[in-house]
């Protein structure tokens, strides 16, 4: 398994997938530049191989992709891996292709699967300097999966490729992500008083997440009802969000919590999640919240409508419609029965359609297919 091990949806999915597969008895080897942040290092059947990139004054840009390919080939040979599964096309699929070719010269067959997550296609992959190599990486993959139908369609169109793409939606462990009444009672007072509503946002605070819209929406909500907001995560737009919160007079009602490992303990404390992104190929944070009985107020972009049905298990708005999102949130917060129905529907969606018990077997079946060369 190869992914970006830092804070980001694709790394989370890869890590959780590795953990779930290991729990089912598979031997999982992570090959990345640092230990993925949701791994503790104590999980059975999980092995971590660090890719170290030697620097040399001649290298203005140390060649990580080559060091990764080398390590992939070594690990695959030493540990007799059945296949490589890389998350995020760039540069991982190209490194996997190189590793495969290196092993081929030694008589070893090593198929590889690429999972597309979103920005590898919609932002980075479409940049002129990466487009041809991204298309190459996708086409050379023995199998390709995408985390939503939207992303698969977009990939076919943007890269003008007919490469078959298996849709395997993101997943959540519904036993871990749930509202435990005792924990709720014990922890919620840390973040909100009894008369206050609690909202949450979770992301990497990149421009695509529109964190300032989170603050704008929250300020409109807080002007009408006592409320607090947990901002989980960190990234380039955090200070701009903090400064906007100051300007709008809601800074003291917001907990900027930074990067947190155990989001499954924080999400269930909230009444609503805010996810006003410019683009989401899936919206994993919303799914994690939904499993915890927290409906999401989101933008109707990318793959989000594959997860959220407007007025059923959440609310959908146009990008930038902070007035609409605030009005929707206030309406729900003022109608506990309606909010409760939506919270139950959100949990049901997570359980019935996106629970790891349903999705992991899809990956296992796909692995079998690719490993058997079909
Ligand atoms: O936007 C992020 O959180 C990072 C990015 C990534 O690739 O790490 O996330 C993408 O992958 C997630 C997991 O599959 C999806 O849930 C996100 O929707 C997707 N982000 C975008 O498409 C902007």
pLDDT tens digit sequence for 237-258: 999 999 999 999 999 999 999 9
Q: 9-171+356-371 belongs to which homologous superfamily?
A: Glycogen Phosphorylase B; (3.40.50.2000)
Q: How far is the CA of 334 from the centre of ligand 1 (A)?
A: 32
Ligand 1 atom closest to Cα of residue 279? 23
Mean pLDDT of 55-74: 92
- 275 falls in which pLDDT band (50, 70, 90)? very high
Q: How far is the CA of 301 from the centre of ligand 1 (A)?
A: 13
CA distance 180 to 178: 6
- The answer to whether residue 119 scores a pLDDT higher than 90 is no
Return the higher-pLDDT residue of 139 and 59: 139
Q: Where are the domains of the chain?
A: 9-171+356-371, 181-353
Residue 10, ligand 1, Cβ within 6 A: yes
Cα 346 to chain centroid distance, Å, stands at: 18
- 8 falls in which pLDDT band (50, 70, 90)? confident
- This prediction has a pTM of 0.94
Nearest to 216 by CA among 320, 312, 289, 334: 320
Q: How far is the CA of 58 from the centre of ligand 1 (A)?
A: 34
Mean pLDDT of 282-300: 98
Residue 208, ligand 1, Cβ within 6 A: yes
CA distance 44 to 247: 49
Ligand 1 atom closest to Cα of residue 303? 18
9-171+356-371 with 181-353: one CATH topology?
yes
Per-residue pLDDT at 220: 98
| Angle ∠(80,85,90) on CA atoms, nearest 5 | 130
| Angle ∠(72,78,84) on CA atoms, nearest 5 | 35
Ligand 1 atom closest to Cα of residue 287? 16
The ipTM (two decimal places) reads: 0.93
Rg of the Cα atoms in the chain: 21
Residue 354, ligand 1, Cβ within 6 A: no
Q: How far is the CA of 206 from the centre of ligand 1 (A)?
A: 11
pLDDT averaged over every residue in the chain: 95
- The answer to whether residue 118 scores a pLDDT higher than 70 is yes
- Residue 307 CB: number of other CB atoms within 10 A? 25
Per-residue pLDDT at 248: 98
Whether the CB-CB separation of 322 and 220 falls below 8 Å is answered with yes
Alpha carbon nearest to ligand 1 atom 23, residue:
280
Mean pLDDT of 230-238: 97
Q: How far is the CA of 279 from the centre of ligand 1 (A)?
A: 9
Mean pLDDT of 224-236: 97
- 41 falls in which pLDDT band (50, 70, 90)? confident
> Of the given ranges (15-24, 38-47, 197-206, 304-313), which has the lowest mean pLDDT?
38-47
Is the CATH code 3.40.50.2000 the one for domain 181-353?
A: yes
CA distance 140 to 49: 24
């Amino acid at each position: 398994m190869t992914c970006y091990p830092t804070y980001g949806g694709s790394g989370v999915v890869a890590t959780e997938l590795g953990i779930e597969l290991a729990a089912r008895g598979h031997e999982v080897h992570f090959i990345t530049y640092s230990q993925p942040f949701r791994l503790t290092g104590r999980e059975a059947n999980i092995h971590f191989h660090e890719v170290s990139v030697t620097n040399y004054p001649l290298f203005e840009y140390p060649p990580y992709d080559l060091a990764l390919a080398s390590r992939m080939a070594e690990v695959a040979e030493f540990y007799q891996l059945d296949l490589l599964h890389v998350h995020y096309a760039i540069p991982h699929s190209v490194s996997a292709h190189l590793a495969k070719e290196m092993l081929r010269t030694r008589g070893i067959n090593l198929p590889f699967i690429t999972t597309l997550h979103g920005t590898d296609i919609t932002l980075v992959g479409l940049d002129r300097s990466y487009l041809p190599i991204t298309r190459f990486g996708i086409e050379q993959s023995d199998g390709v999966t995408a985390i939503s139908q939207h992303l698969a369609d977009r990939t076919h169109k943007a890269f003008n490729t007919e490469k078959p793409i298996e849709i395997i939606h993101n997943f959540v462990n519904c036993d871990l992500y749930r509202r435990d009444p005792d924990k709720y009672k014990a922890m919620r007072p840390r973040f909100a008083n009894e008369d206050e509503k609690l909202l949450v946002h979770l992301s990497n605070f990149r421009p695509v997440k529109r964190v300032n819209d989170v603050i704008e929406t929250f300020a409109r909500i807080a002007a009408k009802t006592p409320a607090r907001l947990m901002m989980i995560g960190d990234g380039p737009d955090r200070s701009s969000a903090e400064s906007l919160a100051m300007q709008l007079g809601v800074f003291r009602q917001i907990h900027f919590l930074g990067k947190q490992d155990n989001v499954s303990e924080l999400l269930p404390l909230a009444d609503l999640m805010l996810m006003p992104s410019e683009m989401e190929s899936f919206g994993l944070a919303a799914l994690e919240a939904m499993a915890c009985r927290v409906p999401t107020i989101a933008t109707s972009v990318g793959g989000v409508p594959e997860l959220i049905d407007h007025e059923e298990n959440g609310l959908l708005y146009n990008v930038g419609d902070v007035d609409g999102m605030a009005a929707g949130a206030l309406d729900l917060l003022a109608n506990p029965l309606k909010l409760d129905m939506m919270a139950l529907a959100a949990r049901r969606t997570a359980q019935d359609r996106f629970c790891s018990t349903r999705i992991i077997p899809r990956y296992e079946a796909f692995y079998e297919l690719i490993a058997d060369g079909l």
